[in-house]
Amino acid sequence: MSKVDLHVHSTASDGRYSPREIIRMAVARGLEYLALTDHDSVDGIEEATRTAEEYPGLTFIPGVEISTDVADGEIHMLGYFIDHTDRRLREALEEFRTSRENRAQGMVKKLAGLGMPLEWERVQELAGDGSIGRPHIARAMLEKGYISSFEEAFEKYIGRGCPAYVERKKMTPQEAVRLVLDGGGLPVLAHPFTVANPEGWLKELKPAGLIGVEAYYRDNTPEATSATLSLAERYGLIVTGGSDYHGIGESHEVGLGGVMVPVTAAEGLIRLARERGIPRASQRP
Ligand code: AMP
Ligand code: ZN
Ligand code: FE
Ligand code: FE
Domain range list for the chain:
4-92+169-282, 103-158
pTM over 0.85: yes
Residues 25 and 34: their CA atoms lie apart, in Å, by 11
What is the predicted pLDDT for the residue at 253? 83
**What pLDDT is stored for residue 283 in this prediction?**
63
Cα 37 to middle of ligand 2, angstroms: 9
CA of 108 to the centre of ligand 4 (A): 22
Which of 14, 37, 68, 134 should be mutated for ligand 1, with most atoms under 8 A from CB?
134
Output the CA 135–ligand 1 centroid distance in Å. Answer: 6
Please name the fold of domain 103-158. DNA polymerase; domain 1 (1.10.150)
- In the prediction, which pLDDT does 248 show? 86
> Does ligand 1 come within 6 angstroms of the Cβ of 250?
yes
Predicted confidence at residue 169, as pLDDT, reads 83
Residues 6+ apart with CB under 8 A from 80: 6, 35, 61, 62, 63, 185, 186, 188, 240, 269, 273
Q: What is the pLDDT of residue 282?
A: 80
Return the residue whose CA atom lies nearest to atom 12 of ligand 1: 135
CA of 250 to the centre of ligand 1 (A): 9
CA of 265 to the centre of ligand 1 (A): 25
**Closest ligand relative to 64 C-alpha:** 4
The reported pLDDT for the residue numbered 91 is 96
- What CATH number does the domain located at 4-92+169-282 have? 3.20.20.140
152 lines ligand 1 (CB under 6 A): no
pLDDT tens sequence for the chain (285 residues)? 899 999 999 999 999 999 999 999 999 999 999 999 999 999 999 999 999 999 999 999 999 999 999 999 999 999 999 999 999 999 999 999 999 999 999 999 999 999 999 999 999 999 999 999 999 999 999 999 999 999 999 999 999 999 999 998 889 999 999 999 999 999 999 999 999 999 999 999 999 999 999 999 999 999 999 999 999 999 999 999 999 999 987 777 899 999 999 999 999 999 999 999 999 998 644
At 251 the pLDDT is 74
Please report which ligand is nearest the Cα atom of 7.
4
